[in-house]
Structure 1
């Protein structure tokens, strides 16, 4: 593995991430963001830590990279972006003397076997999503963005029949967490707690969906109770997230109320950008 990745493996002595793994993770993230990773908050996944632990522990990385490829596809990252991220890892490992992670990733220089493993795993999930069009997020049990796009299509058709803009009667409430500083499973726990709070507050027939690894959206009608429910939602989120020190360090969730775009296509583009924010 040392010859392939250019990083001398060091034993950490336990399954938990050690100092070497954390250093590698930080340098990898810096290199990936510098190379053009578009949405910093969705880079850190538990599978990233698995890859770092495999590399530092001297384990062949193929299995861990396959898991990361699948996770990237499930989170909405494109293939080009996923492979560029892999190239950032390879560049960091190949140039350990660049302590600040200021390296130049090159996909063409990345070992072909690692590119192949990652790309095949990414494609498996991407094609499966196209074939099955799942509408439930397995982590939170919330409907996915695919479901919300369908609901929005219904809202826009109804508005067109009335000759009015969809934004006249409906809006989006979006909750976003910044889990970028959390490593491993705490970010998954945080997403479960956020989803539970949103579901409890918006339990009157609103359309709630998980848009990405750190974003939940609610399609709701305009009424006089939005401000009150927003306050209630913030209180529920604070109560749930404050029980865990790591989640509390992630900061307060960002709650926004957004106007619907003029067209359904515009609304779908908005959901995509929100899911990667």
Structure 2
């Protein structure tokens, strides 16, 4: 039993690593209960039954993962196990994804509390950037304005979320940036230029003064969307 558990854990880690190396975009969204079911089946019988593959595909669709990324992730499983790809299982995965996508409600663009983009709309925007003309993603970056740690797990009261969303919208007006609220942080995708960097610095400063300074200190980190460049050295320092 111990050997079996270890082999499943090892396969899970290898699959996850291989998937990330093949371009999985949002690491925090990779693990799902259906992933564990697939690993259990594969580690036991070296196969992924059609219902199991379909369940994973449907779950990926419900979580906003595109069909291409879903299939690449599934291929990574077989690469991690050093086995040939099971075409029938891959087809079942794709069928499950299509069925899951059909059941999704229309994507709402605006979060009811913050007035910012919903997470689904935000992720679709990221996907569109990645699929756009060459260099589109490289010209953009993501800024994450992290709120204090004591808000983790509970989040601000809804009245504060309303104020926070209105403030961010006001600060970023005219920049073309898109923002969403997630996990006690504001995520912002924007086109990289000095003017936008300055506006983001001003936005961070404004957030620190919100609600009488109750959200201070606020940390802001910048992540390029394309390549491995580090733009942090260009980030305006604030007192």
TM (norm. structure 2) is 0.50
Q: Note closer, same or farther for the CA distance 1:175–1:83 as it changes in structure 2 (3 Å cut).
A: farther
State the partner residue of 1:132: 106
2:9 to 22, 30, 35: 22
CA contact (8 A) 2:209 2:216 kept: no
Q: Note closer, same or farther for the CA distance 1:122–1:27 as it changes in structure 2 (3 Å cut).
A: same
Q: How many residues align?
A: 169
Q: How much is the aligned-residue C-alpha RMSD, in angstroms?
A: 4.6
Unmatched tracts of structure 2, length 5 or more = 124-142, 166-178, 189-201, 223-239
Shift of 1:215: 8.1
Shift of 1:28: 0.8
Q: Distance in 2 between matches of 1:210 and 1:117?
A: 34
1:115 aligns with 2:96: no
Q: Distance in 2 between matches of 1:146 and 1:40?
A: 16
State the partner residue of 1:227: 208
Q: Note closer, same or farther for the CA distance 1:126–1:199 as it changes in structure 2 (3 Å cut).
A: farther
Q: The residue matched to 1:119 in structure 2 has which SS? A: helix
Shift of 1:223: 9.3
CA contact (8 A) 2:207 2:215 kept: no
Q: Distance in 2 between matches of 1:26 and 1:123?
A: 27
How do residues 163-202 of structure 1 correspond to structure 2 at under 5 angstroms? 174-175=145-146, 194=152, 196-199=154-157, 202=160
Q: Note closer, same or farther for the CA distance 1:41–1:145 as it changes in structure 2 (3 Å cut).
A: closer
Q: The residue matched to 1:118 in structure 2 has which SS? A: helix
Higher relative contact order (CA 8 A, sep 6+): 1
Q: The residue matched to 2:154 in structure 1 has which SS? A: helix
Residues 44-93 of structure 1, C-alpha deviations (whole Å, 9 max, x = no match): 33332222123234485433322322232233322111111111112223
CA contact (8 A) 1:87 1:110 kept: yes
Q: Note closer, same or farther for the CA distance 1:224–1:81 as it changes in structure 2 (3 Å cut).
A: closer
Q: Note closer, same or farther for the CA distance 1:78–1:201 as it changes in structure 2 (3 Å cut).
A: same
1:64 to 45, 52, 67: 52
State the partner residue of 2:220: 256
Q: Note closer, same or farther for the CA distance 1:71–1:145 as it changes in structure 2 (3 Å cut).
A: same
Q: Distance in 2 between matches of 1:20 and 1:68?
A: 20
Q: Distance in 1 between matches of 2:37 and 2:216?
A: 33
Q: The residue matched to 1:44 in structure 2 has which SS? A: coil
1:32 aligns with 2:13: no
1:145 aligns with 2:119: yes
Q: The residue matched to 2:155 in structure 1 has which SS? A: helix
Q: The residue matched to 2:38 in structure 1 has which SS? A: helix
Shift of 1:197: 1.4
Q: The residue matched to 1:36 in structure 2 has which SS? A: coil
CA contact (8 A) 2:155 2:184 kept: no
Q: Distance in 2 between matches of 1:46 and 1:136?
A: 28
1:75 aligns with 2:63: yes
State the partner residue of 1:266: none
